[in-house]
Amino acid sequence: MTAALSPIDKAKYIAARRAVEFVEDGMRVGLGTGSTAAWMVRCLGELIRDEGMKITGVATSARTAELAREVGVPVKTLDEVRWLDLTIDGADEYDPNLNLIKGGGGALLHEKIVATASDQMVVIADLSKQVDTLGAFPLPVEVIPFGWQTTKALIEEMLSNVDVLGRSASLRLNGAEPYCSDQGNFILDLHLRRIANPAQLSLVLNQIPGVVENGLFLDICDVLVIGNADGTVEVRDINNGTVEHERIDITDTENLFVDSAE
């Protein structure tokens, strides 16, 4: 079925279209996961097909790898490539310092490894992801299945010693079963509402045995690209301290239709 894009998908597409302008011929590019990142992968496919650009992609999830292959983006593993020029990925929340919550789609572990192995991380988002203080979006924490209930109890106990508003954790489900990450781990979603000190929380979470990684991406994002449905886009560069406002020409409406929504 082919359907016109909703305003939110148009905003995501605009962000993706602008973000792929950071990609240069020959680059090794980390490919994020999620509905916004999926637009970026499709845009990269177009660059390869229409402009003959040579890119090597490293996918952060099995579903991103599948989409990349579908649209003609060559994919290698991180171990084959080792280091990346750039990663482009979505986010669940961003704050004014470009700190992020990620992992709503369950890919936070591979995403953090790939982003950390990149010279630059460009995050693509729409304004609905913007917050003053992180924490409204439940913080995903990847834990190993062994003893997960003990790990959950330890996390909840630890939360009473940090400056957050909510203190409960819930096991992410896929139907009646625990959701499993690509790595075969479970995800606990922490309902914190407000995280006063993300750096402290990230450190203490990762010290708990059983915790593999948490969804706080702190000091990792270099550039944030915020797309709007009207074609306007804001590009914030945290290193240069610049904020640029631009407009993307979306007269090429063939891009504004999608066969299947992610």
Ligand X SMILES: O=C[C@H](O)[C@H](O)[C@H](O)COP(=O)(O)O
104 sits near ligand X (criterion: CB under 6 A): yes
Torsion angle of the four alpha carbons 162, 163, 164, 165, in this order, in degrees rounded to the nearest 10: 120
227 sits near ligand X (criterion: CB under 6 A): no
32 sits near ligand X (criterion: CB under 6 A): yes
Q: Is 92 annotated as a binding residue?
A: yes
Q: Is 76 annotated as a binding residue?
A: no
Comparison of 34 and 198: residue with beta carbon closer to ligand X: 34
Q: How far is the CB of 137 from ligand X (least distance, A)?
A: 9
d(CA 167, CA 190): 7
Q: How far is the CB of 160 from ligand X (least distance, A)?
A: 27
135 sits near ligand X (criterion: CB under 6 A): no
138 sits near ligand X (criterion: CB under 6 A): no
Q: Is 182 annotated as a binding residue?
A: no
Q: Is 151 annotated as a binding residue?
A: no
Comparison of 43 and 91: residue with beta carbon closer to ligand X: 91
CA distances for 234 relative to 44, 84, 120, 170, 242, angstroms: 20, 24, 18, 35, 10
103 sits near ligand X (criterion: CB under 6 A): yes
φ, ψ for residue 100 (rounded to 5)?
Answer: -130, 155
Per-residue binding string, ligand X, 81-100, x by CB under 6 A, is --------xxxx--------
φ, ψ for residue 18 (rounded to 5)?
Answer: -70, -40
Q: Is 111 a catalytic residue?
A: yes
Largest CA distance in the chain: 54
Q: Is 90 annotated as a binding residue?
A: yes
Give the binding-site size for ligand X (rule: CB under 6 A): 18
Q: How far is the CB of 47 from ligand X (least distance, A)?
A: 20
37 sits near ligand X (criterion: CB under 6 A): yes
111 sits near ligand X (criterion: CB under 6 A): yes
* 96, 132 contact by CB (below 8 A): yes
Q: Which of 105, 135, 198, 227 binds ligand X (CB under 6 A)?
A: 105
130 sits near ligand X (criterion: CB under 6 A): no
Residue located via tokens 């690509």: 182
By DSSP bridging, strand 56-59 and strand 28-31 are parallel
34 sits near ligand X (criterion: CB under 6 A): yes
Q: How far is the CB of 26 from ligand X (least distance, A)?
A: 25
198 sits near ligand X (criterion: CB under 6 A): no
Instruction: Write the single-letter amino acid at 47.
Output: L
Binding residues for substrate: 33-36, 89-92, 102-105, 129
Give the binding site for ligand X (CB under 6 A): 32-37, 89-92, 102-108, 111
Which residues are known catalytic residues?
111
